[in-house]
Amino acid sequence: MTRKKVLTTCIYCGCGCQFYLDVEKNKIKGVFPSQNHPVSQSALCVKGWNAGEFVNHPDRLTDPLIKENGMFRKASWDEALNLVVKKLIETRDKYGNDSVAFFGSAKCTNEENYLIMKLARAVFKTNNIDHCARLCHASTVAGLALSFGSGAMTNSISCFDEAELYLITGSNTTEQHPLIGSRMIKNLREKKADCVVIDPRKIKLTKFAKYHLKQNCGTDVAWMNGLMHVIIKEGLENKDFIRDHTENYEELKKTIEKYTPEYVEKITSIPAQQLKEVALLYAAKKSMIIYSMGITQHTTGVDNVRSCANLAMLTGNIGKVGTGVNPLRGQNNVQGSCDVGALPNVYCGYQAVTNEAIREKFEKAWKVKGLPANIGLTVTTVPDAILQDKVKALYVMGENPMVSDPNTSHLEKALLKCPFLVVQDIFLTETAQYANVVFPGTSFAEKDGTFTSTERRVERIRKAVEPIGNAKPDWKILCEIADHCGYKFDYASPKEVMDEMAQMAPIYGGITYDRKEMEKGFGLQWPCPTKDHPGTTFLHKDGNFTRGKGLFFGIEYKPPAETGLDNKDYPLTLTTGRSYFHWHTRTLTGRTSTLEREVPENYIEINPEDAKKYKVRKGSMIKVSSLRGSIEARALVSDIVKPGTVFMPFHFAISAANRLTNDALDPIAKIPEYKVCAVKIGEDK
Ligand code: SF4
């Protein structure tokens, strides 16, 4: 077989870089960046360069597995499919449609997520379909939809070259979205932009920042209200924009009256004078707000996101290049999984399941009757539903909640109790070990499909090598399950699934695989409603919001839900995040030698002042406990974190930060409060 190069999209972060897989004899020999791609621009980060290594890892699942007497044995596809379908149907028929739940996956393609949501809705008549966007940006989807009418990054990565100021909060951009981070550093070095970092932790971009404001964890609404208080007091609000393009301004103005910089300092620890200076800087410039999970993973996640939207609208920093509210989505296809409806409240294209006309449209297209009108369970509410005997069967495609979910011990109880658990993945993950049946799926290199990046760019992935062993592409497994249920998923390839999605979701209406081979390999940014539409670089152009007028909300600061904060026995606040060398739950990066050797184990960052106070030696293993559990982790003594705050990456199954974190939820988005966890260090008294 000759050597070939196959253009595809990176499996890791939401930047959506494209590269070529260099393939010989059905093996990936290397990875080369696309020269002309608008994001990659001839570069990749360390994860991208090594994205081919895990594909041939010896741990790959090659056959279906069925658990008997606590042990897995290999099974044929027929046996495993028959068992799964029999159990799912039996459960549905005995306990009702909502006794079955499905998790899609931000690692899988748009087409696969569309199919699993269609399987849940059309075949099992349940809206119990969700995926891990619930754990990262559910508050973005809900919050920006409320404020603007569209829950996605408003601008594009190219817009970073046009901004005069980056206001970065809760995003360690260089580690989590490396190619966006390096673009920002280039612009900062060349003095094309200024930057302000608002984060309890030092990040690489802090070096270039005019200001680094270190807020107390969980006080974001307060400092954003403080910025807006100063802007209005100084008469720097954009009066024309507010009058012509927004509503409910008076409510915002009234709410933020009391958020003087001095009042905000008491809540946030941000010095009043610095807050004032940052407010003036933000209002004076063409400014972009850039945020990630530091803003979203709170019980006030939706409030935090709507506060970002308030700030942008107040100054008219929206609907133009170089401005906007820019949530950086973490995983390769977390944007797309939301777009195609792997959510409990919407079909593809964010069409509400509660809307009768929309349900009729899908019933007609899918040739079914009785699509459910109730909003389904989320990834974060399924565990309690299992423990309360409401959910009796769970189907997990490509997710690893045993590492990614908060308060893991609680989830573990639920998985142990769940009468029937199916996991479809490429490795026997920590979650798969609890399964009754495991289906071997395929990696990004072994199938066709599309991912949608953080900037709404829908891009192709292309099959470069044959699947390992008897593994099958995830879309094919879903088709076979539907077929075994007696509902024909009649797709010859993912292309046909995309054609159906384009028909059903207006924002994807003009996107097809054929369209000049997806616009010469660069993809298309939604909304792209028709075949001749060029795609959309930035949303809400000239203040024409998706919902009509932008909606201000008057939002009061509410303290975090974490009860441990009031408990003197838990004096430190743990916040969690990512490492440059790892991704999500390490199922892939933990099987990539170059990445694994850089950061082989978990650690806890602790400020030297706290290290002295609690007698922690650099490099020692220390016990870390919260109200929910205890772990041991290696101490990394550093002033990266401020005194009183400690930090851990969440990627690791051993020393798992999520054994400690809080599963209290935002009331609207149902996202957990990962970012504020009261802990103590050292041995129990
Ligand atoms: Fe992949 Fe993100 Fe790195 Fe680009 S920046 S190569 S998309 S991990």
Read off the tokens for 395: 């189907």
The answer to whether position 589 is within a domain reads yes
Please report, for residues 152, 247, 570, 641, the alpha-carbon distance to residue 553 in angstroms, rounded to integers and kept in the order given.
18, 9, 34, 32
- Same domain, yes or no: 355 and 432: yes
pLDDT at 602: 87
pLDDT at 264: 98
Atom of ligand 1 nearest to the CA of 332: 7
Q: Which helix (H) or strand (E) holds 96?
A: none
Pick from 177, 183, 184, 579 the residue to mutate for probing ligand 1's pocket: most ligand atoms within 8 Å of its CB: 177
193: domain range?
A: 154-328
Atom of ligand 1 nearest to the CA of 33: 6
- Same domain, yes or no: 119 and 182: no
Report the distance separating Cα 147 and Cα 550, nearest Å.
6
CATH label of the domain that carries residue 613 = 2.40.40.20
Where is the domain boundary, 267, 299, 328? 328
Å from CA of 12 to ligand 1 middle = 6
Read off the tokens for 14: 């939401």
Read off the tokens for 64: 């279906």
Atom of ligand 1 nearest to the CA of 453: 7
Report the distance separating Cα 127 and Cα 118, nearest Å.
10
CB-ligand 1 contact for 44 (6 Å cutoff): yes
Read off the tokens for 557: 């600061």
Å from CA of 332 to ligand 1 middle = 8
CB-ligand 1 contact for 10 (6 Å cutoff): yes
Q: Which residue's CA is minimally distant from atom 1 of ligand 1?
A: 48
Å from CA of 315 to ligand 1 middle = 32
CATH label of the domain that carries residue 48 = 2.20.25.90
Q: SS3 of 678, please? A: strand
The answer to whether position 535 is within a domain reads no
Å from CA of 176 to ligand 1 middle = 9
**Which residue is associated with the tokens 């203040």?**
543
Report the distance separating Cα 152 and Cα 266, nearest Å.
33
The answer to whether position 297 is within a domain reads yes
Report the distance separating Cα 103 and Cα 424, nearest Å.
10
Phi then psi dihedrals of residue 657, to 5 deg: -60, -30
- Contact (CB, 8 A) for 511 and 502: yes
Atom of ligand 1 nearest to the CA of 39: 4
- Same domain, yes or no: 380 and 241: no
- Same domain, yes or no: 634 and 664: yes
**Which residue is associated with the tokens 């973005």?**
140
The answer to whether position 545 is within a domain reads no
Q: SS3 of 37, please? A: coil
pLDDT < 50 regions, the chain: 684-685
- Same domain, yes or no: 167 and 214: yes
Å from CA of 406 to ligand 1 middle = 26
Å from CA of 498 to ligand 1 middle = 24
Which residues make Cβ contacts (< 8 Å) with residue 403, sequence separation at least 6? 429, 430, 431, 585, 586, 650, 651, 652, 653, 656, 658
Residue-wise over 487-504: b if at least 16 C-beta within 10 A, else e?
bebebebbbebbbbbbeb
CB-ligand 1 contact for 180 (6 Å cutoff): no
Å from CA of 172 to ligand 1 middle = 14
- Same domain, yes or no: 50 and 96: no
The answer to whether position 533 is within a domain reads no
Å from CA of 143 to ligand 1 middle = 26
User: What would the DSSP string read from start to end of 484-551?
Assistant: HTT-----SSHHHHHHHHHHH-GGGTT--S-THHHHHTT-EESP--STT----SSSSGGG-BTTBSEE
pLDDT at 665: 92
Q: In 3D, which of 418, 426, 344, 453 has the Cα closest to residue 104? A: 344
- Same domain, yes or no: 359 and 274: no
- Same domain, yes or no: 312 and 229: yes
Å from CA of 32 to ligand 1 middle = 12
CATH label of the domain that carries residue 432 = 3.40.50.740
Å from CA of 40 to ligand 1 middle = 8
- Same domain, yes or no: 388 and 492: yes
Atom of ligand 1 nearest to the CA of 180: 5
Which residues make Cβ contacts (< 8 Å) with residue 641, sequence separation at least 6? 200, 201, 202, 605, 606, 607, 647
Q: Which residue's CA is minimally distant from atom 2 of ligand 1?
A: 13
Q: SS3 of 349, please? A: helix
Report the distance separating Cα 425 and Cα 446, nearest Å.
13
Å from CA of 7 to ligand 1 middle = 15
Report the distance separating Cα 392 and Cα 631, nearest Å.
30
- Contact (CB, 8 A) for 643 and 528: no
CB-ligand 1 contact for 48 (6 Å cutoff): yes
Q: SS3 of 194, please? A: strand
Pick from 9, 12, 333 the residue to mutate for probing ligand 1's pocket: most ligand atoms within 8 Å of its CB: 12
Report the distance separating Cα 350 and Cα 97, nearest Å.
22
The answer to whether position 146 is within a domain reads no
Q: Convert the pLDDT of each residue in 147-199 to its tens digit.
A: 999 888 999 999 999 999 999 999 999 999 999 999 999 999 999 999 999 99
Where is the domain boundary, 328, 354, 377? 328
Determine the length of the chain.
685
Task: Tell me how many domains the chain contains.
Answer: 4
In 156-253, which ranges are E strands? 165-169, 194-198, 211-213, 246-247
**Which residue is associated with the tokens 């070529």?**
20
Å from CA of 536 to ligand 1 middle = 22
CB-ligand 1 contact for 12 (6 Å cutoff): yes
CB-ligand 1 contact for 15 (6 Å cutoff): yes
Q: Which residue's CA is minimally distant from atom 4 of ligand 1?
A: 17
- Same domain, yes or no: 354 and 242: no
The answer to whether position 145 is within a domain reads no
Å from CA of 264 to ligand 1 middle = 37
- Same domain, yes or no: 199 and 312: yes
Where is the domain boundary, 490, 523, 556? 523
- Please name the amino acid found at residue 110: N
- Same domain, yes or no: 305 and 172: yes
Please report, for residues 21, 101, 440, 468, 524, the alpha-carbon distance to residue 463 in angstroms, rounded to integers and kept in the order given.
10, 30, 17, 13, 20
CB-ligand 1 contact for 17 (6 Å cutoff): yes
CB-ligand 1 contact for 142 (6 Å cutoff): no
The answer to whether position 450 is within a domain reads yes
CB-ligand 1 contact for 641 (6 Å cutoff): no
CB-ligand 1 contact for 45 (6 Å cutoff): yes
